[in-house]
Structures are given as structure tokens and as C-alpha cells.
Amino acid sequence: MTFTDNEWAVMEALWAGGALELGEIARAVPLGWSRTTLHTYLTRLAKKGAVDIDRALSPHRYRAAVSREECAAAQRRGLVDRAYHGSAEALISAFVRDGSLTADERAELRRLLDEMEV
């Protein structure tokens, strides 16, 4: 499941807050949207299966239907597939080569690779 940046902002609010009313989400998503715009995003996310809407309550309550971890994994897979032709090695090599990794991150990567060679 992939999200736009704005959809991520809405999902982050839901992951942090649990079951929220529209007004609570509007306060948690500092994008200055109207309630109508926010409702459109929530409806779109519900159609994607990412948000559950409890219509039995008034006002309605919105809750994340998928975990942040599931969504992050899908985003990673999508990035690797789109930008690196399915090669996680190419992605990691790009981070290493362009100096994006800090010394601590490189040490953690080495540790993880060493663990995998059990």
C-alpha cells in the first residue's frame, strides 16, 4: 500500500492517536486543510483499506486499519522495485556510495550483515 505525502501525514496522526474524530485529526495534521479536504483524504484512505470509519458513532471515528510497519514495508518494496529494479543490494550500495549513512548507521549495517552470516 503506497501513500502520497499528504496521506502519510493523515496516517501518522491516526497511528499516534488511535480512534479520532475529524476535528482531532485536523488539529493533529498541521496542513491547514479544510474539514472537507481532510474528509476526502480519509475517504480515499478508507477505500484503499488503510482507514476504518466507525459510522455508528456521532461524530464518526477514524482509525488506522493497517500498521505503520506494514505501510513502511510496502513503501520500501515499492522503492526497491521502481528505482532499483528489485535489487535491495543496489539501494544499500547507493546509500553507502553517496555517503548518506552516518558512522553509526554503517556500524549497524555491518552488525546486521554479520548476524545474517550465522
pLDDT, tens only, 11-49: 999 999 989 999 999 999 988 899 999 999 999 999 999
Which pTM does this prediction carry?
Answer: 0.79
Contact 32, 102 (CB under 8 A): no
Domain boundaries, the chain: 1-86, 88-118
Whether cis (ω within 30° of 0) applies to the bond prior to 59 is yes
The topology (CATH level 3) of 1-86 is: Arc Repressor Mutant, subunit A (1.10.10)
Residue of 66, 41, 42 whose CA lies nearest to 53: 42
Average pLDDT over residues 92-102: 86
Instruction: For cell 548476524, name the residue.
Output: 115
Q: Find how far residue 3's CA is from the centre of its chain.
A: 7
Contact 15, 68 (CB under 8 A): yes
